[in-house]
Structure 1
Amino acid sequence: MIRDAIKAAQIASMKAGDKERLAAVRLILAKLKDKDIELRTAAQVPEDDAIVVDVLQKMAKQRRESITMFESGGRTELAAKEQAELDVIESFLPSQMSEADTKAAIEAIKAEVGAASPKDMGKVMAVLKERHGTVIDMSKASGLVKAALS
């Protein structure tokens, strides 16, 4: 499980004295704890790895946006700090599907649900997220689905 790997990384970082990695891992664990608390009242709780991947993907997206803003503002030291956190976060994410595999999955789902126009984008995205949500960057997939349906 990914959560176990994150906890093991926390212990290894403490033993190695790697303060930057330890801080990033603790950030991840704090976000996971927040998500666990949020899901306590949920009627249907998704699988644990799906929760962890969702949290990690959101954190990675936030870091990418921050890096872009810091670099455009000339704050390279803050961008480097965010990049280091992003590297730690991405080390726990499962490997992402290639663009070719993503396009193939989109075409298969498009044929399966009978999508033909941009109006059907929601149907395709829903099935895509259900089947491949943990291994596809949904923001990139959105653009690919839009292109496939237009």
Structure 2
Amino acid sequence: MSHTLKKQITEAMKEAMRAKAKERLGAIRLILSELKRIEVDERIELDDARVLAVLDKMVKQRRDSITQYENADRSELAEKEQAEIEVIQAFLPAPLSDAELADMVTAVIAESGAESMRDMGKVMAILKPQIQGRADVGAVSGLVKAKLG
């Protein structure tokens, strides 16, 4: 698998530097430092699938922070997190529609020969890489449960 996503993010950082886009640059640097941290900690080179997983997690963390900031009446902090989400999401593939997800779940269940809840793990193992960064894994596992249940 190629490592094109990381290159794209690095290029985006250079563009943001040239454009003096301070907020965008800050968000991109956060992404790159998180990727670097994982590579150093785990002594690996991240492939695109793993980079997507990291980006996905970063978006989730920021959504959680936004909720907390809004509950604490700190809208300026919530806005900063939202701006970071927008930068991070620019590197994620387009989200899947509900119809696309339902079709994927149906196809994977058929392809894997899954018949009951016992096969849930098998179905999710096939789906996860396909939906990474494009759908909420929790929501998708709910769909799978509904179809298998």
TM-score band, normalised by shorter chain: 0.7 to 0.9
Matching residue within 19, 27, 37 for 1:24: 27
Alpha-carbon distance in 1 for matches of 2:72, 2:147: 35
Instruction: Look up the SS of the partner of 2:90 in the other structure.
Output: helix
Pairing 1:65–2:64 present: yes
Residue 50 of structure 2 corresponds to 51
Shift of 1:53: 0.8
Shift of 1:98: 1.8
Residue 145 of structure 1 corresponds to 144
Matching residue within 17, 23, 28 for 1:14: 17
Instruction: Look up the SS of the partner of 1:97 in the other structure.
Output: coil
Shift of 1:125: 0.6
The amino acid across from 1:85 in the alignment is E
The amino acid across from 1:60 in the alignment is V
Alpha-carbon distance in 2 for matches of 1:11, 1:98: 33
Shift of 1:115: 2.3
Give the unaligned 5+ runs of structure 2: none
Q: Deviations over 1:14-60 (max 9, x none)?
A: 122211111100000001101211332x6xx7x72112111111111
Shift of 1:72: 2.3
Native 8 Å contact 2:49 2:129 kept in 1: no
Alpha-carbon distance in 2 for matches of 1:36, 1:122: 28
Tell me how many residue pairs correspond in the alignment: 146
Identity %: 49
Native 8 Å contact 2:59 2:89 kept in 1: yes
Alpha-carbon distance in 2 for matches of 1:73, 1:147: 36
Residue 117 of structure 2 corresponds to 118
TM-score (normalised: structure 1): 0.86
Native 8 Å contact 2:95 2:134 kept in 1: yes
**Does 97-106 or 140-149 show the bigger shift?**
140-149
The amino acid across from 1:125 in the alignment is M
**Does 120-129 or 27-36 show the bigger shift?**
120-129
Alpha-carbon distance in 1 for matches of 2:20, 2:66: 26
RMSD of the alignment, in Å? 1.9
